[in-house]
Amino acid sequence: MKKQFSIVVITIICLLLIDQIIKIWIKTSFIQGEIPTPLLGEWFQLHYIENPGMAFGTTFGSSMWHKLALSIFRIIAITGIGYYMWSEYKKGVKTEYLIAIGLIFTGAIGNLIDSALYDFIFTFDPCNFYNQMEGSENFVTCTHMGPHGTSYTSIHEVRHQGFLLGNVVDMFQFNVTWPSWVPWVGESQIFPAIWNFADACITCGVGMILIRNRNYFPKEKD
């Protein structure tokens, strides 16, 4: 039992470290919105953006209260998943099943760290185009340099900044399109979402549970 617990905990810690190392590298080495960098040819690339919503770019409103509600939801989900994982461990379930739950747990924590702490760790520029967020009701006045040494000001709505109000760093994208002969979706991207390592952990964990469910909970013979 102790060995099983150690395996799961070490797996979670290692995956969290990988997630945060990738995100910090992206934050300090790339510029939001710049031309994607090929990783595996043109079909899999690095494309740095900051996501104000949930996994795979799913948004949940733009006001401060929407952001706060999303972060609170993440905390509740993490607490529930952690409790469930512990209760299943006490029941003596298979290690693979605990790792599957741990993957989901890891992904949720990884994205929560971004929204909770990154605004304090990294410099926030409210006048950066990529920090503008229509509907946030958070207005700032920005000064811009014009031609011949002139300057002008503009007012923008920008995202809220602070504990539990930050964005999530995303960077991976599949650049694969449907064949032109496919009706309605021809030549559009098959999976346009930009995602991160934490999202991949959540997806793998859910996939393992769905695919391997019978292995984790074999039916008792009559």
Give the residue numbers annotated as catalytic, written as ranges. Answer: 170, 199
Give bridge partners of residue 40 from the DSSP assignment. Answer: 44
22, 113 Cβ separation under 8 angstroms? no
Q: How many helices and strands in the chain, by DSSP H and E?
A: 5, 6
| Assigned token pair, 53 | 């919503």
The angle formed by the CA atoms of residues 148, 143 and 36, to the nearest 5 degrees, is 90
Question: Which residue reads 């399109």 in tokens?
Answer: 177
**8 A C-beta contact, residue 157 and residue 83:** no
Are 67 and 147 within 8 A, CB to CB? Answer: no
Q: What is the separation of C-alpha 221 from the centre of its chain, rounded to a whole number of angstroms?
A: 42
